[in-house]
Amino acid sequence: MNSVSPSAAQYLGGAMQEEGLSSHPEMRRPPTRDPRGHFGHGAGSDGGHDGAAEPDEVDRLKAKLMTVWNNVKYGWPIKSKTSFNKTSPLTLLGHSYLLNHEDEVERFSQAFVSLVWLTYRREFPQLEGSTWTTDCGWGCMLRSGQMLLAQGLLRHLLPQGWTWMGDHCLTDVDIEVSKSYSPSRSSGVSFPSFPPSRSPLQTRRGGGPWTVKESPRRSQRRSETCQDRQMDATHRCLVSWFGDHPHAPFGVHQLVELGKSSGKKAGDWYGPSIVAHILRKAVAKTSEVPTLAIYVAQDCTVYKEDVIRLCDPSFMEDSSVRSSVWKSVIILVPVRLGGESLNPAYIECVKNILRLDCCIGIIGGKPKHSLFFIGFQDEQLLFLDPHYCQSVVDVTQDNFPLDSFHCHSPRKMSFSRMDPSCTIGFYAKNRKDFESLCIAVSGALCSSSEEKYPIFTFVEGQGQDYRLEGQSEVLPDLQGHMFPKESLKRGSKKSSMDEFVFL
């Protein structure tokens, strides 16, 4: 299956490039032996290598061949145009756009391109305990999880309405533009760009947990203000946290390391629920964002008291007590929206969730293909696709290029192709926002579902400690929240929870 990728005009394909560590010689680490003696896609591997200090040559050759093949498979850009309806509203993470005028298209393009896009990379420092120097072919769910976390961090660190200062041009998009607004344009044109124009945005109050050097003045279509440069520096620092080197707090190296406690390793496939817990551990481990926490729902239930205790360690039963150290929170809810395929009854519910301003996206995909869902138009989902292999970027450099971290080619797919296993993300800045989130999300869940049960619920009180430590992906008892008993009658057939596979 061919993946969707940006046009050749945006990036140059890099297929058939041999993997190595030449770009990061200072980060080379001697590989250590994997405890189970294998790597790769987690299937058909050999047993342990007693006394071996590192994977044997056969394993190295397997990894090298798989790397070359995946670079060919995902390295060539494939041109395909996405059509948008000018008469139907387009929803992007809580904001609606009606693409019938150039100013609306420009507003959408600024918001879309400003999202952080994280894809397969090659030639990064070797993952410890393996021979992998790329996640191409197996790390798509990790990349989708990174994009979900990045969106939460954008909401956390930058003011509402912030947009990236780079190029906002859209490519490979067909949008009908109204003649009444621009007589020189005909309707039904291929729309690549509109000049970005923004008024200066207010800077975020207070200091931040990041320390980066400001980038030099670049050639822009609008003048840069001091506030713009400060926000640009914040954005650059945020992107660097997802860099592909061992010390990046949310990079592939750290996420793979954290996944080991759940029985995962480099080359394995990761599901949306496992990735939710990995992200939680990554945020808890780092000191970069001390004012942010991640809560992962248990059994499709968000326990409000657990969230409050996570965000306010000084919480007491006396509701009159309010702490001044309340942490912002990202709430991740792993769910299953049907049996073997998406239950159509949940489509309207998913739409309502994506309409909420507190929603930061959904990680899931279509069968055999992980994606990051960020919106919809009519009966099609809007997404960012991690299945495009790019060369590693050295984010330790002061002015590393940002272009490859922003996508200019929006893509859509039918709701009917959506895999039922996914994780939904929400963000609340403070306690008031959390209380509003509970009301808004509960309303979205109850107002649209034709099924007897909502896809998840908010309840008072605490839940049990359910962290999936040291075990593989687990399918909780979703019967009371996800779908009726009839849809669970599949005999002894293995659950398809998180059954994405890499291509």
Evaluate if residue 58 carries a pLDDT over 50: yes
Query: Using the 8-state DSSP alphabet, how is residue 298 labeled?
Result: B
Q: What is the pLDDT of residue 335?
A: 96
**Strand-pair partners of 426:** 331, 359
Among the listed residues 59, 306, 385, 433, the single catalytic one is: 385
Catalytic residue among 387, 406, 408, 481: 387
pLDDT value for 11? 34
- Between the alpha carbon of residue 456 and those of residues 200, 249, 447, the distances in Å are 40, 30, 13
Q: Residue-wise over 410-423: b if at least 16 C-beta within 10 A, else e?
A: bbbbebeebbbbbb
Task: Give mean pLDDT, residues 275-290.
Answer: 96
Q: Is 387 a catalytic residue?
A: yes
pLDDT at residue 336 is higher than 50:
yes
The residue with tokens 């591997």 is 45
The pLDDT value recorded for residue 206 is 37
- Among 37-51, 155-169, 271-285, 400-414, the minimum mean pLDDT is found in 37-51
Question: Would you say 106 and 144 are in contact if contact means Cβ atoms under 8 Å apart?
Answer: no
Contact between 100 and 36 (Cβ < 8 Å)? no
Lowest mean pLDDT, pick from 86-95, 195-204, 252-261, 436-445: 195-204
Tokens 């894809």, residue located: 119
With cut-offs at 50, 70 and 90, classify the pLDDT of residue 366: confident
Q: Would residue 140 show up in a list of annotated catalytic residues for this protein? A: yes
Q: What are 312-333's pLDDT values in tens digits?
A: 877 655 555 555 679 999 999 9
Name the average pLDDT for the chain.
Answer: 75
Which candidate in 59, 135, 136, 140 is catalytic? 140
Angle between helices 252-259 and 272-285 (to 10 degrees): 110
